[in-house]
């Protein structure tokens, strides 16, 4: 292991002092490489063209680009980037080849557009990620609030608690300190749930839910992290889960509140992707993937936080599956494996 006085990262700072009157950067001058039949471009060369500071933290795989008040954060092997505090999905993740950070043309254009723009945004600060030790598992709904109810009468609150209990045990067996927001069929407000996670000083918050949709065809497993995306399809779910609070919340303002730290967001996305990969690997289940939405419990928790929609109770097949103990156990196991796998990834830990 490295001496702990030596910070496990190498920063590269490029300040081009050469030219005062920079013309339009010539993107075609950025060296390109063909890897697996895809063209990649050298990020550091792009930064030279744009006169942007380039900081690559090898330990975490994170790249922070800054100039004036604009900032872009990318992470190696993550198909997400954060552009001035707003997250963006990209088709292909940045990679490292022979020590050089490479991005696709799409990513290069986004970066170029960001730093060439005149409008000034708040600088994105860089936070170091924490190691995951303490986890709060939240079984959604409960007591007087049943959540979604399937055609056979399966109640979301019971499915959530069952998966949460299995998840609690599995995570504990991996050595995490775990706290559940509820262990029985009782009502808890959304604020109480967020407070429990914040007071426990947890490193990760996992809220378990089951979905419902007007369309009985809709099925699959999906995970949300905190974001401002509110497509109509997502608005319905958010209003269902946020319950009576839905009408009192200014969703747009929500973006600037709560769990919006870049580090939390990147870790939330990373954990969500890791869990989806595990569930995918189990086979036989439609994994919809990772999405963002302003769920209350994600906004008001101050650590990486995800909300899992384990399946659709409005779909007859999935209602049957979610009523099955073995199926819920398998799901919980995959969720725990996804968390544990992410914990071992360098991105989640500096230690
Ligand atoms: Zn729910």
Could you tell me where the DSSP H helices lie in the chain?
43-50, 105-116, 156-173, 190-199, 232-242, 251-254, 262-282, 296-299, 316-322, 325-343
Per-residue pLDDT in tens (0 to 9) along the chain, 351 residues:
444 444 443 333 333 333 333 445 567 788 888 988 899 999 999 998 888 999 888 777 788 899 888 889 888 888 888 888 787 888 888 998 888 899 999 999 999 989 887 554 443 333 334 578 999 999 999 999 999 999 999 999 999 999 999 999 999 999 999 999 999 999 999 999 999 999 998 999 999 999 999 999 999 999 999 876 666 666 667 777 776 554 444 444 443 444 456 677 778 888 998 899 999 888 778 999 998 888 889 888 888 999 999 999 999 999 999 999 999 999 999 999 999 988 765 443 333
Where is 290: in which H helix or E strand? strand 287-293
The rounded Å distance from CA 319 to ligand 1 centre is 14
The rounded Å distance from CA 85 to ligand 1 centre is 28
The rounded Å distance from CA 148 to ligand 1 centre is 7
112: phi then psi, degrees, rounded to nearest 5: -60, -45
23: phi then psi, degrees, rounded to nearest 5: -80, -165
Handedness of CA 212, 214, 218, 223 (dihedral sign): negative
Q: pTM of the entire structure?
A: 0.69
The rounded Å distance from CA 162 to ligand 1 centre is 14
Which residues have beta carbons under 5 A from ligand 1 (an ion)?
Answer: 140, 147, 209, 241
Calculate the alpha carbon distances from 350 to 7, 57, 131, 145, 303 in Å.
Answer: 9, 10, 7, 41, 16
The rounded Å distance from CA 160 to ligand 1 centre is 8
Distance CA 136, CA 197 (A): 6
Which residues does residue 107 pair with via DSSP β-bridges, in sequence order? none
Question: Domains along the chain?
Answer: 27-116 (3.30.457.10), 134-348 (3.40.630.40)
């Amino acid at each position: 292991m490295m001496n702990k006085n030596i910070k496990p990262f190498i920063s590269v700072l490029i300040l081009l002092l050469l030219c005062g009157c920079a013309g339009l950067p010539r993107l075609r001058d950025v060296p390109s490489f063909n890897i697996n039949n895809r063209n990649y471009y050298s990020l550091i060369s792009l930064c030279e063209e744009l006169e942007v500071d380039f900081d690559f933290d090898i330990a975490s795989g994170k790249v922070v680009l800054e100039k004036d008040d604009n900032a872009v954060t990318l992470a190696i092997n993550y198909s997400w980037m954060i552009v001035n505090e707003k997250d963006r999905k990209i088709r292909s993740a940045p990679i490292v080849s022979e020590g050089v950070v490479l991005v696709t043309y799409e990513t290069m254009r986004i970066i170029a557009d960001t730093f060439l723009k005149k409008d000034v945004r708040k600088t994105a600060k860089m936070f170091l990620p924490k190691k995951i030790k303490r986890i709060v598992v939240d079984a959604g709904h409960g007591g007087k609030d049943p959540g979604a109810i399937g055609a056979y009468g399966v109640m979301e609150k019971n499915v959530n608690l069952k998966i949460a209990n299995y998840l609690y045990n599995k995570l504990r067996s991996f050595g995490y300190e775990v706290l559940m927001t509820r262990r029985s069929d009782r009502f808890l407000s959304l604020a109480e749930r967020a407070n429990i996670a914040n007071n426990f000083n947890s490193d990760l918050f996992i809220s378990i839910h089951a979905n419902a949709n007007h369309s009985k065809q809709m099925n699959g497993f999906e995970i949300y992290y905190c974001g401002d995306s509110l497509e109509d399809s997502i608005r319905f779910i958010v209003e269902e889960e946020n319950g009576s609070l839905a009408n009192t919340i200014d969703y747009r303002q929500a973006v600037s509140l709560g769990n919006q730290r870049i580090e939390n967001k990147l870790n939330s996305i990373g954990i969500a992707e890791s869990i989806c990969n595990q569930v995918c690997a189990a086979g036989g289940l439609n994994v919809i993937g990772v999405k963002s939405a302003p769920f209350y419990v994600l906004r008001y928790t101050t650590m990486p936080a995800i909300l899992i929609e384990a399946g659709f109770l409005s779909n007859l097949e999935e209602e049957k599956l979610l009523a099955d103990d073995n199926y819920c156990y398998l799901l919980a196991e995959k969720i725990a494996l996804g968390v544990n796998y992410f914990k071992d990834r360098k991105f989640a830990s500096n230690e």
